[in-house]
A and B are shown apart, each in its own frame.
Chain A
Amino acid sequence: MLDWLSENWLYIAVPLLVYLASYIVGLWVRRIAYRAFDRWAAKGKWEGNPLVVQATRTPFLAWFMILGAYLAVRVSILDTSTKALADKVLVALFIISVTWVAASLSEKLLRLYIGKVKRLQPSEALIVNITRITIAVVGALILLDALGAPTTPIILFLAAAVFIAALVSRDLLTNFFSGFQLVQGEQIKVGDFIRLESGEGGYVTAVTWRTTQIRGLDGNLILVPNSRLLQSTVINYGRPLKKASEPFRFYARLHLKEVTGLKACNLTELVDTLKKVPGSVIYYHTHNFLEEYQYLTPEPANDFALWVNDELGNEVLGEKLASIDTFGFPTIAALRARIIGVIEDYLSKNPDGRTAPLGREFHFIRSISVILPTPYIAHDLREFIEVLRKVSTDSISFHVFEARLRLQKGVNDFSIWIEDCLGDKDLADKLAYLDPYNYTLEGLRSTIIQLVEKRIK
């Protein structure tokens, strides 16, 4: 072995020298080239310059080393087939490194650019990944071609795969392009309040490449596919309104009827019993018709008036009782006193009159209210309106009738919140002066919504 080396040292030394020379030339060229590049870049002040340098500096020397290795193989005494094999390995290394640099540089430049364009930010990950994959595929095809592999079937296969993938993920692509359209067109932006055809609504918290995220009125996150947003009618109310100092939590009041077992056959019994029954009985009989027959009449009479009229046939007293304006009384005690006063006044001037037929007596019923919090919260008037559209009439009853009279707040909950937490006394007063007994519950809902909508327009 030593003998062979002493006789043929030039066969080893020459390729090594060629390789080293290439490495040294590489170092020198890189130094010159990057200095020139820096001088040129300094004039343009392009932010991508450091990225280009960072991405290519190390690979630049590696390419000279690959060149050195190639030249070394050329001048070596290796046989032709080994040289050909070495050439292929070196070409492959070169293509891989160029592909790597191209992918890395593209990613850095894209992230730099997208970072400046807010509309593209939700799609950053997708754009970067698509670019990387495209460069990798092109690099792989060039490599295969360089190695002599047949690329046409692979291209066809890839084309077919892309086609199938596009078919399979057509919804994904539709959503992506829809999202791109939404972002580019600035039709929907983060912070906007939108209402969908389905009735769902809320503030937009994010627009990603697949979905638009909405914080629903019940606090839940709603993910709407972008394509659906573009294909359906969406009302965009724009930017948030003034936030309330405290949000408004909607409650619902459900009521159960409890029979007291007390009944009246005539006016004397009616008035005597009225004096001793709990307030929940008075509340029930002055609000029952309003809820049970809410579709029939916008101005319901209390049960006492109906019974006196229908069963005792006393139309005069029936009319007097029906004309008692429930809205004018701040408490049930005051309302009770008025009803008793009207009947006693009548009895002081008239005889008791008819007795109700058997089975048609007045039965005193107590209303048991079960109050439960709904998931709906309003932080501003826009959310308030949208929640009001959704909640049941049990919720409206509670905040308008029950809160004012039974919970003795003197005014409805909506007015209190609008004045105390939004500082809008004018609107609060408008709602407070609205006589809810003149509307059906659905009519009342619409009227309140109209008043608030008019305010925020």
Chain B
Amino acid sequence: MENEAHIQSRSRIQDYEPIVGRSNIEELRMLAEVLGGKIVQNINSTFVGGGVAEILEHMVPLFNQLGVDARWDVVHGNEEFFEVTKKFHNAIHGGDEKISAEDFALFSKVTQQNLEELRFYGDILIIHDPQPVGLIAKKKEIGRKWVWRCHIDASNPDKRVWKFLRGFVVDYDAAIFSAPSFAQQLPIRQFLITPSIDPLSDKNKELDSGTIDSVLTKYGLTSDKPMIVQISRFDRLKDPLGVIEAFEMVKKSIDCQLVLAGGTATDDPESEEVLEEVRKRAEGNHDIHILLISPGSDIEINALQRAATVVMQKSLKEGFGLTISEALWKAKPVIATAVGGIPLQIRNKLTGVLCYSVEGAAYALRQLLSNPEYANQLGKNGKEHVRQNFLITNHIKDYLLMFIALAQPSDIIYL
């Protein structure tokens, strides 16, 4: 089975100059030069689906263009393993999960298999999320710099699961979290690096109106009434039922339509079940459109976001919520719950609207649908906020800085 990703570069690093400025790209080149010849090995659990895979798919080729030898491998596991890691995922988010001793044993067994199968060739190893966290056992044998990248909201984790994972995490050289509130009391350095979107990817690039219209036609959508869109995989933590509830409250006074669009990931066996629940809940309401988007349909997601009047992200728990940055980049007004990394992207009433309940979401929807100028201003601010903080070039810069900081533990580093 293929472990290592061989990905082709879609964009050239210089293509980002008109978006972020030439001087910023020059700085990336200078930082990359400092690392000269180091191999950065990323390990996660899937090549396809989910935010991590999406970021690595775009980031790895750009690192390589800058002269940093970045590579990407995945751990393997059976369905039972991914069910266990899904439980871990939910438990880190604070969910009440029943995790047995057998589950922990299975996790350790699959980790051991991956330790034997995988090649560890990086000078710096970045291990993403809980699934491959146990690979740190290899550090005793080979040394090198190991960083654990936690993409999940770990602000209030299940104590038992966190204690189990913490046993691995403390052996790393550093951990990365997406938001300050995710950080834990750990004896290792903890960096704050937010994830990012690629403005030149199919999901975020500019689209002509013909492409947008054709996607709307394909899914039977019309642009003659305001469209509320939530893009996320079918997961209870994204609260799709709550979105439907908020929509129904708004629908009483404003004629609009709701689009819930998303896909499934290979490491999330629960999503099919959630999709069925959502379909059942929406039955009979012709203004609610449940769209199952297959992996790789990025242009379609892009088109749906661009066609939206308001974008929602009513997550109950969220790692970071990249769909928000995607929507903001398209200058769309966004309503989202103040969980996880969302407040980093949305400063309430400046770059979007934060809500805490279904009623709050409905209220915000009514405000934005009734005041398009206000909505436009939020979208405009949001786009600049993303340009400043959440584009892939910022993300690369943070990683490069972290590699440098790992070697020089000081508050001020002169290169």
Contacts and interface: CB of A to CB of B under 8 A. Distances in A.
Which 5 residue pairs spanning A and B have beta carbons closest together? A363-B180, A392-B23, A257-B192, A259-B183, A256-B401
A261 interface: yes
Interface residues of B, number: 44
B5 interface: no
A392 B412 contact: no
A284 to B, nearest CB: 10
A374 B181 CA distance: 34
A: interface residue count bin: 35 or more
Contacts of A258: 189-192, 405
Interface string B146-187: 000000000110000000000000000000010011011110
A279 B411 CA distance: 9
Interface string B374-391: 000000010011001100
Contacts of B27: 252, 254, 372, 374, 392, 394
A386 interface: no
A255 B156 CA distance: 28
A210 interface: no
B137 interface: no
Contact of A294 (B156, B177, B186, B388): B388
B7 interface: no
Contact of B411 (A280, A291, A391): A280
Contacts, number: 112
A160 interface: no
Q: Which of A278, A295, A365, A407 has the most CB of B within 10 A?
A: A295
15 contacts: A252-B23, A256-B193, A256-B405, A257-B192, A280-B411, A293-B388, A295-B388, A296-B381, A296-B385, A359-B181, A359-B339, A363-B180, A368-B413, A369-B412, A370-B31
Contact of B155 (A359, A372, A391): A359
Interface string A291-331: 11111100000000000000000000000000000000000
Given A254-B27, A369-B411, A371-B414, A392 B181 contact: no
A372 B31 contact: yes
A146 to B, nearest CB: 62
A391 B381 CA distance: 23
Nearest to B175: A259
B39 interface: no
Contacts of A254: 27, 31, 397, 401
A278 B409 CA distance: 14
Contacts of B21: 392
A24 B404 CA distance: 89
Nearest to B404: A370
Contacts of B193: 256-257
A455 interface: no
B415 interface: yes
Given A292-B388, A390-B23, A370 B184 contact: no
Given A259-B180, A261-B184, A292-B389, A372 B192 contact: no
B271 to A, nearest CB: 26
Contacts of A280: 411-412
